[in-house]
Amino acid sequence: MAEAGGTRTFGQIWREVAAYLFATRSPTAEQENEAKELANQGYLTFLTEHDWTFMAPWTTISVWPNVALSAVTVTGVYSSTTGKTTLTATAATFYPSMVGRSIVVTAIGTFTITDYTSTTVILVSGNATATAKTFSIEATADYRLPDNYGEPMGEFVYEPNKVGAPRIPYSSGTMIRAKRAASKVTSYPYLAAIVPAAHDTAVGMRWDLMLYPTPNAVLVLYYQCRLNVAQMEDDDEYPLGGQPHGMAIQQSALRIAEQRKNIVDGPMSALYSRRDGRTGRIASGM
């Protein structure tokens, strides 16, 4: 279902910025790029000014045990351009949380999973060219959280009717590593920790979920987190917040554009303050 007709799109927002800066809604390519940059600055600034509830949705992560299926094989096609190999499995096997883990392709080698495409397609680093090879993925009980994961908003919760204890309390990475060293068991996890993944400047900050013990089956965990938001790119994109906040986001962008003109506390800033005051009053309900 599409957004309500009155919701502002990225295209409408950046064109208002262009009209303010350049007195046209049909700018040159250079002017368009500047208007888009300022529109995104206004958008991202707006999102950091309140603890918006729409910035903390509930979602799920699938965690998994060791993967070693003799009946499932992969075929790998290497790209010298990207330096990665696309592995395609003959059955649904992969999960987004496998990014960062190692896959062993029989008679080919061990490779790091860099991207998740679908339940049957992943990308790995290096040349893993293969035809109908079996494979395995060891469950380290470290699971990659989504790229837009920002910070936790509560504990991880099991899907309904799964186990007696419905939630997984937080511990520390140190405690979980100590327990793994003392006893390597598989069962329903009862400890969790959020730890930073090894930093890669090409992709930015990422986070892993550590669990103890290692799951003995594929499990779906529910959790709530604050999002890291990407910049808008397409004209038909809707910003977070929907219709109630669309005009405030646009005014935030115009305020940034006004500051670019070296106008401090000008009319655009004043209009934003009044509009943000109204949207801020509904922050706890939005």
Rounded Cα gap, residues 249 and 238, in angstroms: 11
pLDDT band at 2 (very low <50, low <70, confident <90, very high): low
The confidence score (pLDDT) of residue 265 equals: 85
pTM check: above 0.95: no
What's the token pair of residue 39? 């529109």
Tell me if residue 23 falls in helix, strand or coil.
coil
**Per-residue model confidence (pLDDT) at position 115:** 97
Please provide the average confidence, as pLDDT, over all residues in the chain: 92
Q: CA 74, CA 106: separation in Å to the nearest integer?
A: 10
Above 70 in pLDDT, residue 234? Answer: yes
For the segment 124-133, the average pLDDT, to the nearest whole number, is: 97
pLDDT at 30 over 90: yes
- Which H/E stretch holds residue 79? strand 74-79
Q: Give the per-residue pLDDT at 163.
A: 66
Lowest mean pLDDT of 26-35, 144-153, 273-282, name the range: 273-282
Q: In the structure encoding, which two tokens stand for residue 219, read together?
A: 């499990």
pLDDT at residue 7 in the model? 87
Q: For 244-256, what is the mean pLDDT?
A: 93
pLDDT digits (tens, 9 = 90+) for 205-229: 999 999 999 999 999 999 999 999 9
CB 52 within 8 A of CB 279: no
